[in-house]
Amino acid sequence: MKVLLATQKPFSAQAVEGIAKIIREGGHSFEVLEKYASEAELIEAVKDVNALIVRSDLVTEAVIKAAPELKIVVRAGAGFDNIDLQAATSAGVVVMNTPGQNANAVAELAIALMIFMVRNQFTPATGTEIAGKTLGIQGFGNVGCLIAAKAAALGMKVKAYDPVRSAEDLRSYGVEPVESLERLYSECNYVSLNVPLLPSTEGLVGDRLLGLMPKGGVLVNTARKEVVNEQGLKKALAERTDLKYATDVAPDNYAQLREEFGLRIYANSKKMGAQTSEANINAGYAAARQIVDFFATGNTKFQVNR
Ligand code: 3PG
């Protein structure tokens, strides 16, 4: 089988070497397309591939239709909102992710962004400490769990909201469950967003929830930019001059927001939550192993389009 690793934002060379080794030892051929500039380039590259490994690369209906031999797409990472699942399912293509494999890198970034913001983006103005403060985690999946443990070790109290996990389950991680987003935002000094992008989470956080935060509130978003309603964010930052927002993915109107709100807002220039060599290796190798296993045994354990 022919396996293509297509990454606009490349994995480290070491990770690519390891992925190639796993694929070739599994008896398959391996090709790489990195830093491509257009969908047309991806469309050209997939025309004879049987398996595709991607990161946040857009796997659209056009890409799937251009790959008649495609059997499997593995998103080397957690979120699969970049893949047209309906088109894949209609074409009989299995889609998988590699849950948890890059979670630690994202969790470390969330803690870093929180500290960066309460220290005024490392400018000399007097900041605050995170010890003794309460962190709210919105979405208690692989990343949320790790953030909770790190925050607790740093002396924070941790509360969590997750509509699909029971209170008892959340308590078993040493966090205090809260039954509504309103409570999470009104009871926590800082909130970390860790939900997937779904129709139910798109635009979920805006001025109404942000306005409930205690004085000095900080929202840290290492999920997807679309979960935050940008107009609502703008309104909240304008109405509450104590609120701050840090995000791994810049809002569409970031330049304007930065001009208006200065050091109260921060966005990375490129999404970098999962951009560590460890996460590249963990997610990349997992994707390669899942493909080899799928062709050898039919294993679809991590399939997301059943
Ligand atoms: C994920 O969903 O796994 C993260 O957002 C990482 O995305 P990336 O691999 O494109 O950096």
Segments forming the whole domain that contains residue 65: 2-101+275-297
- What's the 283 CA to ligand 1 centre distance in angstroms? 9
Could you tell me if the CB of 274 is within 6 A of ligand 1? yes
Do strands 29-34 and 2-7 pair parallel, antiparallel, or not at all (unpaired)? parallel
In ligand 1, which atom is closest to the CA atom of 80? 2
Q: Do residue 18 and residue 145 come from a single domain?
A: no
Per residue in 193-211, pLDDT (tens digit) is 999 999 999 999 999 999 9
d(CA 8, CA 11): 9
pLDDT at 203: 98
| Predicted TM-score (pTM) above 0.85 | yes
In ligand 1, which atom is closest to the CA atom of 9? 10
pLDDT at 175: 98
CB of 201 within 8 A of CB of 209? no
In ligand 1, which atom is closest to the CA atom of 97? 3
pLDDT at 145: 98
Q: What residues does 303 pair with on adjacent strands?
A: 96
In ligand 1, which atom is closest to the CA atom of 271? 11
- What's the 71 CA to ligand 1 centre distance in angstroms? 22
- What's the 58 CA to ligand 1 centre distance in angstroms? 12
Mean pLDDT over each residue of the chain, to the nearest integer: 98
Q: Do residue 134 and residue 26 come from a single domain?
A: no
SS3 call for 208: helix
Residue that the structure tokens 């939550």 belong to = 273
Structurally, how many domains does the chain consist of? 2
- What's the 46 CA to ligand 1 centre distance in angstroms? 21
Q: Is 303 domain-assigned? A: no
Q: Do residue 126 and residue 241 come from a single domain?
A: yes
pLDDT at 67: 98
SS3 call for 3: strand
Q: Do residue 119 and residue 243 come from a single domain?
A: yes
Q: Do residue 129 and residue 243 come from a single domain?
A: yes
Q: Do residue 249 and residue 111 come from a single domain?
A: yes
Residue 115 makes CB contacts below 8 A (sequence gap 6+) with 130
- What's the 45 CA to ligand 1 centre distance in angstroms? 22
Per residue in 37-71, pLDDT (tens digit) is 999 999 999 999 999 999 999 999 999 999 999 99
pLDDT at 96: 98
d(CA 182, CA 217): 14
Q: Do residue 64 and residue 206 come from a single domain?
A: no
Q: Is 27 domain-assigned? A: yes
Per residue in 209-240, pLDDT (tens digit) is 999 999 999 999 999 999 999 999 999 999 99
Per residue in 170-184, pLDDT (tens digit) is 999 999 999 999 999
d(CA 133, CA 28): 52
- Tell me which of 12, 56, 198 to substitute to probe ligand 1's pocket, judged by most ligand atoms within 8 Å of the beta carbon: 56
Residue that the structure tokens 């031999």 belong to = 69
**What does the pLDDT average to over 247-270?**
98
User: 248: pLDDT confidence band, cut at 50, 70 and 90?
Assistant: very high
pLDDT at 205: 98
Among candidates 117, 115, 144, which has minimal Cα distance to 223? 144
**Ligand 1 atom 10: the closest Cα is on which residue?**
56
pLDDT at 91: 98
Dihedral angle over CA of 173, 175, 179, 185, nearest 10: -140
pLDDT at 100: 98
Q: Do residue 113 and residue 181 come from a single domain?
A: yes
Q: Is 306 domain-assigned? A: no
Q: In what order do the strands lie in the sheet with 29-34?
A: 29-34, 2-7, 51-54, 72-75, 94-97
pLDDT at 180: 98
Do strands 51-54 and 2-7 pair parallel, antiparallel, or not at all (unpaired)? parallel
- What's the 197 CA to ligand 1 centre distance in angstroms? 12
- Tell me which of 7, 102, 143 to substitute to probe ligand 1's pocket, judged by most ligand atoms within 8 Å of the beta carbon: 102
Q: For residue 80, which phi and psi values (nearest 5 degrees)?
A: -115, 25
Could you tell me if the CB of 56 is within 6 A of ligand 1? yes
Return the DSSP state at 11.
P
- What's the 214 CA to ligand 1 centre distance in angstroms? 31
pLDDT at 106: 98
Residue 275 makes CB contacts below 8 A (sequence gap 6+) with 9, 105
Give the CATH number of the domain where residue 249 resides.
Answer: 3.40.50.720
